[in-house]
Amino acid sequence: MTSTVLIVGAGPTGLTLACTIARAGVPVRIIDKSPAFHRTSRAKGPNQRSREVFKDLGVAAEFDAAGIERTVLRKYRGGVPLADTEIFAGAVPTPGAPYGKGLGIPQWRTEEILRAKLAEYGAEVELGCEMAGLTQDEQGVTVTLVDGRRIETSYVVGCDGGRGIMRKALGVSFEGESEDEECMVIGDVEAEGLDRAYWHQWFDEDGAIMLWPVPGTDSWQLQGTPERDAEGRLVAPSLETFQRLFDRHARMPGVRLTNPTWISTYRINVRMAERFRVGRAFLAGDAAHVQPIAGGLGMNTGVQDAFNLGWKLALVAKGQAGEGLLDTYEEERLPVAAWTLRTTDERMRAVRVAVREAGVGTEVVIDDAVTTLGVGYRWSSLACGGETAGDRAPDAPCVDAVTGRPVRLFDVFAGPHFTLLGFGEDSAKALAEVAGECGDSVRTCLVGAGPGEGLADPEGHARAAYGVAEGRGSLVLVRPDNHIALSAAADRGADVIDCLRRLGR
């Protein structure tokens, strides 16, 4: 069977990529070596920027219904509660950013939501399909599975994790460091008698344990210090070691841990692939970079890798952009991955020191940087002009000038198209010019021109977000991944057309 894009690995990264490509009308297949879908908590949910990605993909309501926004850490020392700290306390949606907080949701539910969305496009995850190797030439890629089957595809993307085969098959080195041994045990258990309003964190001189209430379940995600035997060797984790760890630090004899559905260990790795593209093959998510868990950037970086790559693969596959556009995936995302590795490594070191102080917990690594709302690509060759080219395109509440219905700019951006915002009546001619030349690949939107036209901006939020003074005109071209490609004067429609025609060429 042939496909245009084959995705290897059906975690959050692979599923986000599949949805992004499928909604653009490009045939996609996604395979995973697992025999069944897992139900383990793993990554705790999307940050603010990933929530914007999921809104664009049309699954915001499902995430909002399944997750929790408010997370309060309760910190203990010697079994005594000392302090409660709410993550992003006081953070609220703003005109330019609709999500003030991230969302707590188990990874299995994240994947379930994305699989349901993918099914709407007629695609499903193919389980029990383990990749053995690949060959490629100028015409396409042949992926061989362990059972001998072959899949012909135009492009392949490895989203199969840090231990996956794709990176190895491509001969791409994984530069960085790994700690010598596991620093944490982790798993999903049930624990009656604990208040599920809190993420409980016990820190003592001889170790720690944390229990996070998994939304929508009776389970808790347990993270703790590994147990050692008399010779100092690590003891394999089990429900019994989890209970001893809990008893030692929590000192709540009435609480018993039961029904373990996941038991594992965690070792700190700080590694990144030297390349994210080899010919027609790409790496994304943990297959391209692995980083410490501090700050929760692992899954989120992968989701945002996928959102960056997906629209580019779709345009090239449909012949609407040149092959060179695919080079900009590595150009843009490799520096972001490098920043992620640095910042999470620093945060992991910081939290290890900070929790030695009574009443301090993992909140010390949570700040505005982990929202990734500030991540942009000003250095990119796709930044066609203007001071903000490459930046994340902000949201803004507007009003349909004809119906009076509230409309947010993110509603206008949602989809596989470029969006051209035209501020003021002076931009109307340029919008018409671009629409005539570029057709459905660009959605044009007049903002604040006057009664009965486009979107009204009664409170000036859109103009403020894009730095357009009242009474002045401007053009802003927004990419399918909601980053600014170009900002220009209101009469420079030709610049927009030139920018789009040069994509990858």
Cα Dmax for the chain: 79
pLDDT confidence of residue 449? 79
pLDDT band at residue 451 using 50, 70 and 90 as cut-offs: confident
Which CATH number does the domain housing residue 33 bear?
Answer: 3.50.50.60
Please say if the pLDDT value at position 504 is more than 90: no
Same-domain check for residues 200 and 171? no
Query: In the chain, what percentage of residues exceed pLDDT 90?
Result: 96
Determine contact, residues 488/474, Cβ cutoff 8 Å. Answer: yes
Of the candidates 113, 114, 36, which has an alpha carbon nearest to the alpha carbon of residue 306? 114
Please say if the pLDDT value at position 3 is more than 90: no
pLDDT band at residue 1 using 50, 70 and 90 as cut-offs: very low
Residue 417 Cα distances to 265, 282, 312, 325, 481, angstroms: 42, 22, 11, 15, 9
Q: What is the mean pLDDT of the chain?
A: 97
Which CATH number does the domain housing residue 218 bear?
Answer: 3.30.70.2450
> pLDDT tens across 328-381, in order?
999 999 999 999 999 999 999 999 998 989 999 999 999 999 999 999 999 999
pLDDT band at residue 452 using 50, 70 and 90 as cut-offs: confident
Domain housing 285: 2-63+102-175+270-371
* Beta strands per DSSP E along 229-284: 257-266, 269-273, 277-278, 281-283
Please say if the pLDDT value at position 112 is more than 80: yes
Same-domain check for residues 240 and 132? no
> pLDDT tens across 475-503, in order?
999 999 999 999 999 999 999 999 999 99
Domain end call among 266, 283, 299: 266
Same-domain check for residues 274 and 365? yes
Same-domain check for residues 188 and 44? no
Which CATH number does the domain housing residue 494 bear?
Answer: 3.40.30.120
Same-domain check for residues 151 and 260? no
Tell me if 377 is assigned to some domain.
no
pLDDT confidence of residue 430? 98
> pLDDT tens across 292-316, in order?
999 999 999 999 999 999 999 999 9
Domain end call among 266, 284, 303: 266
pLDDT confidence of residue 2? 64
Residue 207 has a CB neighbour count (10 Å cut-off) of 15
Tell me if 97 is assigned to some domain.
no
Same-domain check for residues 210 and 124? no
Tell me if 75 is assigned to some domain.
no
pLDDT confidence of residue 468? 96
Please say if the pLDDT value at position 238 is more than 60: yes
Same-domain check for residues 106 and 53? yes
Tell me if 208 is assigned to some domain.
yes
Query: In the chain, what percentage of residues exceed pLDDT 70?
Result: 100
Tell me if 68 is assigned to some domain.
no
Same-domain check for residues 158 and 192? no
Same-domain check for residues 151 and 189? no
Same-domain check for residues 479 and 408? yes
Q: Mean pLDDT throughout 139-160?
A: 98
Alpha helices in 76-143 (DSSP H): 107-120
pLDDT confidence of residue 321? 97
pLDDT confidence of residue 198? 98
Tell me if 325 is assigned to some domain.
yes
pTM value is 0.98
Residue 185: Cβ-neighbour burial (10 angstroms; 0-12, 13-18, 19+): buried
> pLDDT tens across 198-219, in order?
999 999 999 999 999 999 999 9
Of the candidates 311, 279, 259, which has an alpha carbon nearest to the alpha carbon of residue 20? 311
Same-domain check for residues 437 and 482? yes
pLDDT band at residue 24 using 50, 70 and 90 as cut-offs: very high
Evaluate the CA torsion angle 334, 336, 339, 345 in order and state its sign. Answer: negative
Q: Mean pLDDT throughout 111-129?
A: 99
Tell me if 83 is assigned to some domain.
no
> pLDDT tens across 179-188, in order?
999 999 999 9
Same-domain check for residues 479 and 436? yes
Tell me if 87 is assigned to some domain.
no
Domain end call among 355, 371, 387: 371
- Count of domains for the chain: 3
